[in-house]
Structure 1
Amino acid sequence: MGQADMAIPPISDSNRLLVPMNATCSLITTCVLLSAGMPPISQCFFSSYELDLQKNRELSDPVLLIRQRAVKALCDYLHDHEHIAESINEGVISSLDKLLSDPDIPCRAYATECFVVLCQHELGRVAFLENNILSSFFKLIKLTEVDIVRLNAHKAIELLSTSPDGADQIVEHGYIPLLIDCARDEVVEIKLIVMDTLNRCLSANTSKGLDAHGVGLFTALLGHENAEVRSRASQNILRLCVDPVGKQKVLEDETIPALIGILTGDSDKAMASAAGALAFICTTTHGRYTALNAGAIPYLLKLVDHSNSRVRVNALKVITCLSETPEGRRILLDHLDVITPHEHDQNAAVAKHAKIAVSVITWKP
């Protein structure tokens, strides 16, 4: 690229914003960036981003157009995974951290997209934690921020949660109450990402989710119109029910009838997750009798013949728990013909749990 091509045009209303990002962020990205008034430009500022100290300095340049073009070029550069280690070594993490507080929306949007790419790699996640970027991200996921920045920030946090250290740090930085609020208030696309993050974080620490009234929220989300939301709500209830306090809380919040409602007919994933949550809840006597009184057995018996093996396994687990009560055993003795064929199920896990269920149902003192 020649010197003439590299000349920086003067900033004006027609060229002060960059073309929208090439991130795959669905309609939210398009709508938000168009509303920000970002006109297209005919050519890129850099044909390639050769990482050096000068380019890194441009990320903090006082001239808006230079910052925009530098972070856009860096974002494109990072999409080649071979550039991740080099970029981290050159210190771009701290430069991007500063851009997270930039008053310009495209600068913040591109900076968060850079962190999405970085957090797809172990090196990037480690650098993210070592530079304490979580402290800067806290304000980016609040509803006062624009959609595209929130979406990118949540994507980066969700990727960070895939590592045990990342999930622990998210909890320690006090994110759980805010993420619970986001799961309640966000648009569906972001809500799903948030619930995936919570699922991993609650595996590491259930108490924070219980303290933030997570059971009540996820119980309400079991009635959401989106099947993916209902499925993730069931998964998060399952995580919270690992804790004895969570098992008691679901009884207080009438979660069991809502979970049984999912069993009456939903997506395979939602029904499997709901049955899995019930299996944890029904490990307590109170939980078993609540499920029995809510009429769970007929729906569970139908799921024993379901085509999805995960649904069959989890349904059999709940049936086994319910058969530990005299009332449940009496009912299930009349339906052994539904369960016994699955002792020879082609799926080993299904066959195993069918045998366990039959042995408990037919047990005699």
Structure 2
Amino acid sequence: MAQAQISMYLPPNINPTKAAIAYGCRALPKLNEELQSEDVTTRQKALMALCDLMHDPEYVYQAIDIGCVESLKALLKDINDLVRIKATEVLHIMATHNVGRDSFLEHGIIPALSFLLNDANPICRENLHKTYKHLAQLPAGAQGIVNSGLIPSLVWNLQKEQMAVQELILDTLASCLQEDATEALGSRLVPFLKQQLLSGNDSIRAKAACTLMAISIPLQGKNQVWQYDVIPLLVHLLKDDVDEVQANAAGALMYATVTTEGKYAALEAEAIHPLLGLLRSPLNKARLNATKALTMLAEAPEGRKALQSHVHNFRALQGEAIEASTRRAAEIAIKVIEWKP
């Protein structure tokens, strides 16, 4: 006679590291309760399950409504490494959604995360900087990071973090400095960015040049770029093998050459010919930035004289460019070059 026998093995497709998800509308409230459990294993499993769910915007809305953000905020202080890692991972995933970023600003997640800037676990720090990068993409998020006084800390961490995290910090700084560059200018960011322009990593060079572009918007930033002798390096990068590096270097020169000192430093570094070469770049922003930088140089008598034989390049750009902004920039450049006192 046949006998029933219970298997000793788990059913297929069951992940023992994740909490079992309740059915329907009870799923997230149950996980939120488990996030607040005193048992560390329960918290870990709940976070593992939450990481998967947060990729769906519908679940992000629900999680915010039932108070998951406050639960995650509390877990950032957890003594268990895995709990902190998974909590920052959930926040990073939520930060990819607009509703998540808005909620973080409302619940004070920016200062709460800042306590982990020097966390012993590198994965935790990387998740933190991914979250900041996404938050900084919103003007309110970038302003929130600035208002929290985190710029000096980000600059300091930029100098000691591994390369992957440096890229994230540069992205965050580039967005934040467009809102306010005051603290960054007082934190010796320009000399460090000068070093980054020499990096063997293409992405680091491109992002460092982009951050220099942002820090050069205020007058003090323009002056520091000139004072720290960054302009010759930017001119050198106009001939870089990477189009993005060229475009961002031209953008940084576009701002730095607004001042008289910047103009003559660029002319002395022989910036005109490589900038003219970028008028044929496949990237529109490279063409646009180069055109505007050349316009700045044309405001100096020496620059205008050197560019008078190249007006046909700007006329060609004016006729070929699809983008209205580039056509307009070429038109202004021609007027400045052809101006006679």
Q: TM-score w.r.t. structure 1 length?
A: 0.83
1:364: which partner in 2? 340
TM superposition shift of 1:204: 0.8
2:208: which partner in 1? 233
Residue of 45, 63, 74 corresponding to 2:19: 45
TM superposition shift of 1:150: 1.0
2:284: which partner in 1? 309
Q: Which ranges of structure 1 fall in alignment gaps of 5 or more residues? A: 6-39
1:127: which partner in 2? 103
TM superposition shift of 1:182: 2.4
Q: Structure 1 stretch 155-164 or stretch 55-64: which is displaced more?
A: 55-64
Give the Cα separation in 1 of the matches to 2:219 and 2:164: 32
Q: Cα gap change, 1:250/1:59 in structure 2, threshold over 3 Å: closer, same or farther?
A: same
CA contact (8 A) 2:155 2:189 kept: yes
Tell me, what secondary structure is at the counterpart of 1:185? Answer: coil
Give the Cα separation in 1 of the matches to 2:103 and 2:282: 44
1:22: which partner in 2? none
> Which string of whole-angstrom CA distances, capped at 9 and with x for unpartnered residues, describes residues 42-63 of structure 1?
5743155744655423213222
CA contact (8 A) 1:135 1:173 kept: yes
Name the aligned partner's letter for residue 124 of structure 1: G
1:159: which partner in 2? 134
Q: Cα gap change, 1:338/1:130 in structure 2, threshold over 3 Å: closer, same or farther?
A: closer
1:118: which partner in 2? 94
Name the aligned partner's letter for residue 340 of structure 2: K
Q: Structure 1 stretch 352-361 or stretch 241-250: which is displaced more?
A: 352-361
> Which string of whole-angstrom CA distances, capped at 9 and with x for unpartnered residues, describes residues 295-326 of structure 1?
11121122222232221221111111111111
CA contact (8 A) 2:199 2:205 kept: yes
1:180: which partner in 2? 155
CA contact (8 A) 2:292 2:333 kept: yes
Q: Cα gap change, 1:152/1:45 in structure 2, threshold over 3 Å: closer, same or farther?
A: same
Residue 270 in 1 paired to residue 245 in 2?
A: yes
Please, what is the CA RMSD of the aligned residues?
2.2
TM superposition shift of 1:330: 1.9
Give the Cα separation in 1 of the matches to 2:318 and 2:74: 60
Name the aligned partner's letter for residue 117 of structure 1: I
Q: Structure 1 stretch 303-312 or stretch 264-273: which is displaced more?
A: 303-312
CA contact (8 A) 1:48 1:73 kept: no
2:57: which partner in 1? 81
Superposition pairs of residues 276-287 of structure 1, within 5 angstroms = 276-287=251-262
2:303: which partner in 1? 328
Tell me, what secondary structure is at the counterpart of 2:120? Answer: coil
Give the Cα separation in 2 of the matches to 1:299 and 1:45: 59
Q: Structure 1 stretch 56-65 or stretch 204-213: which is displaced more?
A: 56-65
Residue 242 in 1 paired to residue 217 in 2?
A: yes
Residue of 54, 62, 66 corresponding to 2:42: 66
Tell me, what secondary structure is at the counterpart of 1:275? Answer: helix
Name the aligned partner's letter for residue 46 of structure 1: A
TM superposition shift of 1:115: 0.8
Tell me, what secondary structure is at the counterpart of 1:186? Answer: coil
Q: Which ranges of structure 2 fall in alignment gaps of 5 or more residues? A: 1-5, 8-13
2:316: which partner in 1? 341
1:194: which partner in 2? 169
Residue of 52, 57, 69 corresponding to 1:93: 69
TM superposition shift of 1:361: 1.6
Give the Cα separation in 2 of the matches to 1:169 and 1:329: 43
Give the Cα separation in 1 of the matches to 2:234 and 2:138: 29
Q: Cα gap change, 1:78/1:295 in structure 2, threshold over 3 Å: closer, same or farther?
A: same
Give the Cα separation in 2 of the matches to 1:159 and 1:343: 36
**Identical positions, percent:** 33
TM superposition shift of 1:288: 0.6
Name the aligned partner's letter for residue 194 of structure 1: I
2:269: which partner in 1? 294
Residue of 176, 180, 202 corresponding to 1:205: 180
